[in-house]
Chain A
Amino acid sequence: MRVLVVDDSKLVPAVVRKTLELAEIPVEEFFEASNGAEGIERLRQHPVDLIFSDIHMPVLDGVEMIRKLRQEKGDRTPVIVVSTEGNQDKIEQLKALGVRAFIRKPFTPEMIAEAVNEAKGEGA
């Protein structure tokens, strides 16, 4: 599986990578971006099978990145939103954009595995 992690924290991509390993989910290629605009650019260069994205980020936040990907670029890559977000408005906006999988930090390998399965069902 090819994975992109979009998060302004330098720590989170490393944590996601380690947790995917612990969940025994094989990753062939792993890409990182520190905000939504970088995330869109990375995807243009390197298509992936799954995106992990934060919500609150500088430059372009997670909601806007997913909106641009879905509505402007027609990109249907499954997204797992990884956040501390409890704001129901934001969650509803993301659900309206087709996001099915949400993980609230801090997370476990079991939560990651469940979210990957949910995300794979996106658009099904």
Chain B
Amino acid sequence: MSAEWKPTVEAVFCRILQPFAFAFGERVEAPMFPPPPPACLAGSIGFRGDRQGRLRLMISEALALGMAASILGTDLDDDETHKFKQAALMELLNVTGGHVLTDLYGAARVDLGLPECEDCDHLLWSRAASDEASMLFLVDDEPVVLQFCEDAAA
């Protein structure tokens, strides 16, 4: 698959962050990308229909907590914030995915699936971050790896 999707996905992701969690995101190149965070979360959401594929996000735990706190209006160390850190990532996938599909495919019949959490460790993070197909971001200075793939058979 060509990388024609990259400018659209980058624009959507950065556009969503501010109203979603009062966060600021910018795309960075690999040399500027920090090493894997001490703890990370990963998640993905699939889509199917006229087009099918998957959007995957890997984020630092610190960013997940920051987003949850910002959305809920809680403190970073509140139990409530920790309880909702995975939900914050899954909702970010949901919102980003919905807007990406509309911006990329317009009126095509494409349905978004349900977001899922995935295991994430330093090896997986490093592999994803060094994959040329991945997009790297800093969101409120925290690293984010974004992968978008469209199935060839679609």
Contacts and interface: CB of A to CB of B under 8 A. Distances in A.
A58 B115 CA distance: 11
A42 interface: no
Interface stretch (A25-33, A72-80, A83-91): A83-91
B76 to A, nearest CB: 16
Given A9-B87, A89-B109, A108-B19, A84 B97 contact: yes
A84 B99 contact: yes
Nearest to B72: A14
Interface residues of B, number: 27
A87 B16 CA distance: 18
A56 interface: yes
B89 to A, nearest CB: 10
Contacts of B83: 10
Nearest to B85: A11
A2 interface: no
A88 B102 CA distance: 10
Contacts of B107: 88
A40 to B, nearest CB: 19
Contacts of A8: 114
Given A11-B71, A105-B98, A108-B19, A84 B112 contact: yes
B34 interface: no
B64 to A, nearest CB: 11
Interface in A67-107: 83-89, 104-107
Contacts of B101: 86
Given A12-B91, A15-B72, A108-B19, 8 more contacts: A9-B91, A11-B72, A14-B71, A18-B72, A56-B113, A56-B114, A86-B99, A89-B109
Interface of B: 16, 19-20, 68, 71-73, 83-84, 87-88, 90-91, 94-95, 97-99, 101-102, 107, 109-114
